[in-house]
Structure 1
């Protein structure tokens, strides 16, 4: 009997569309002799939909039409599996659409990649691929991530955070605080977004105010750093868990401006690459990014970055595959971790292909890591076979927590 994989994608995120393409691209490369793939689309209002059409990329050109001919489902725990129960429930009808044995989230951005979906899957008790709740949440918050890495002697740029309430309350004071910490140019980023959304570089007070206002349209909290004027960006993927992890080849993204933009990442077309399948659009995924692969760096720098990538992955407690993005300051050749993508676009398969691992093997390893983690969790005691409520009086005088 084949193992049923629930492939989750979409969600209430600014990277909704990127997630769709990443997931449906991956869907073609699972070992169909071992797995049955059930594509589960999460709408922008966070409802789950399944149908014979949710695995067809062209159907997403008209999402409302797709939803109208799909089944909304709820996730219900059923022993070791999760049932996809049709909603609304109908009397005298078959209400279980299907069941899944393992969840495979291919979601990007806030509200899905940040531990939210992972928490739901964890409560359902189903094995799921990728980072757990904690590592997903920490990886999404750029400031918290950098604090953790800094405490573990992994180099990151100095940064401060500003929340929207303080900014609205006293904009001038926020500007003064930032300028006391950093000289121009300064880079402003939403604290919990990926795909370069909401990022701007400020070179004076006017552009700083504009950058802050822009970033706050995407997030309640932003991170501020000194902008490196002469930099090289290098990305490296890591596969594994905290016990055993390995690094991929390094890539060097090619940007069209001072910073790598959403357009550079997902709307460009690199002539150096072909799509992994004639049925899949590479445009709209990280595979479409113009890049140098391998990166134009010497062997010592390459190994330093690969080792730092593994250290970052393990320090944050990651699982499955992640991509760590680095900045090299070409003025002094210092290397800094910039951010981590706990569910990278296209699952970074192109970086693993460069070291001889095909997409099917990458997916298989990720699934086996999910089952391994579930086996380890099943050995941990989370509750006691006692009921202290048996001896609790209604006045709360006995059995209360002290």
Structure 2
């Protein structure tokens, strides 16, 4: 079976996507799957070729166009296989068939429903959440709204538009300070990996945080902080009957886990019991662990997610109250370290995700997408006997 591994893309999490893709390349069962790497550059160009299977070749991204074939067209054949048409270095063309799309793009243009919509239009099976789950999971404001409607525990929040801030910042500050209490976290509505996120303990810091966040998205969410919170993460796997993984606790000397700590410092993917800022499994009472796992599955279902996700929680140490912080529908490293601690190897996790993609596709094929109707003929003025009226 040929698997198209989509990664990179026009996202501030571009490099993170490359890392996840290379982790998949190293863990996938090559006796069952032929991996076709599809790298999307920061400018939006698509490339493929074996050169993209080695992480060392991403040290200089400018060499990729010369070492690979550029994808010039995507289409579907009658067997529901995705066809990539490429143009090589010597202007030669090639057609590559793909059975299942496996996107590991983090952030915008990959985790937000856009590429999922492309796969839906092409009618090809693909790994991970669908259009709805991806879009809601990426948008922190819609995500919180959905969780709130399901009575899931979340912190108090409000949001503003970039245009509102630039037009009347005083009104925005008044809205925030009337609704919420310091300290606050300020976040772009549609980014992950802690990019553009800052903590504000005063009006001055709030202004600075908004000024940063506005460069990443047109909408900005502001949330009350849970002071001295323990950060607990739990992954979810499945379609109609999802299951929860072991929980991890993220520990760091910083006020909150930032981009550098997650990825640049090499901490993500740590599977040791206590090393590099991660404790797996988290040291929690059994009842609290089960409660968090239940909430993770409920959050997964609430946004109509499928495939895989990681749900991040904040645990108030003073009250043991748990809050859902966010859901990541394409978590870094596919959260394999949480599944390894749950008895599912990375290789098996990839296999499960591909099977879930096929299951979801087959379920979708049951839907009626067209019906025979005479409404067009009637509107064209054609009568019952096929004659013009």
2:221 paired residue number: 223
Q: Report the 3-state secondary structure (helix = DSSP H, G, I; strand = E; otherwise coil) of the residue aligned with 2:50.
A: coil
- In the alignment, structure 1 residue 54 sits paired with structure 2 residue 52: yes
Aligned to 1:248: 245
Report the CA distance shift for 1:373/1:274 in structure 2 as closer, same or farther (over 3 A): closer
Q: Does structure 1 conserve the Cα–Cα contact (< 8 Å) formed by 2:157 and 2:180?
A: no
Partner of 2:84: 84
Counterpart Cα distance in 1 of 2:299 and 2:269: 30
The match for 2:148 is 150
Q: Determine if contact 1:85/1:96 at 8 Å carries over to the other structure.
A: yes
Distance 1:288 1:182, change over 3 A: same
TM-superposition CA deviations, 1:12-40 (whole Å, max 9, x none): 00000000010111112222122111010
C-alpha offsets along residues 351-383 of structure 1, whole Å, 9 cap, x if unaligned? 010011111111111111111111111111011
Q: Per-residue deviation at 1:174?
A: 0.7
Residue 255 of structure 1: CA displacement?
2.3
Matched, 1:266 2:263: yes
| Cα distance between partner residues in 1 of 2:271 and 2:135 | 34
For 1:388 and 1:78, locate their aligned partners in 2 and report how far apart those are by CA, in whole Å: 30
2-side partners of 1:213 and 1:207: how far apart? 10
Q: Which moved more, 1:73-82 or 1:382-391?
A: 382-391
C-alpha separation between the residues in 2 aligned to 1:269 and 1:24? 14
**Partner Cα distance (2:51, 2:378) in 1:** 54
SS at match of 2:51: coil
Q: C-alpha separation between the residues in 2 aligned to 1:135 and 1:145?
A: 9
- 1:163 counterpart residue number: 161
Select 1:301's aligned residue among 288, 305, 324. Answer: 288
Distance in structure 1 (CA, Å) of the matches to 2:270 and 2:358 = 33
Q: CA deviation at 1:272?
A: 10
Runs of 5+ consecutive residues of structure 1 not aligned to the other structure: 276-286, 395-402
Distance (whole Å) between structure 2 residues aligned to residue 393 and residue 169 of structure 1: 50
Shift in Å at residue 86 of structure 1?
1.7
1:189 alignment partner, SS class: strand
1:1-400 to 2 correspondence within 5 Å? 3-73=1-71, 74-79=73-78, 80-87=80-87, 95-241=93-239, 243-270=240-267, 273=270, 290-386=277-373, 388-393=375-380
Aligned-residue offset at 1:239? 0.4
Whether the aligned pair in 1 keeps the contact of 2:4 and 2:38 (CA below 8 Å) is yes
In structure 2, stretches of 5+ residues that fail to align are 382-389
Judged with a 3 Å threshold, the aligned counterparts in structure 2 of structure 1 residues 274 and 146 are, in CA distance, closer, same or farther, namely: closer
Tell me the TM-score normalized by structure 2. 0.93
- Contact 1:237/1:248, CA 8 A, preserved across alignment: yes
Q: Distance in 1 between matches of 2:21 and 2:299?
A: 25
1:53 alignment partner, SS class: helix
Say if 1:270 and 1:122 are closer, same or farther in 2 by CA, change over 3 A: closer
Match of 1:399 in 2: none
When structure 1 is superposed on structure 2, of 265-274 and 42-51 the one drifting more is 265-274
**Separation in structure 1 between the aligned mates of residue 363 and residue 190 of structure 2, nearest angstrom:** 30
Distance in 2 separating the partners of 1:200 and 1:159: 15
Contact 2:69–2:89 (CA<8 Å) still a contact in 1? no
TM-score, length basis structure 1: 0.90
Query: What is the CA–CA distance in structure 1 between the aligned matches of 2:220 and 2:202, rounded to whole Å?
Result: 18
Distance 1:223 1:358 in 2: 36
CA RMSD across the alignment = 2.1
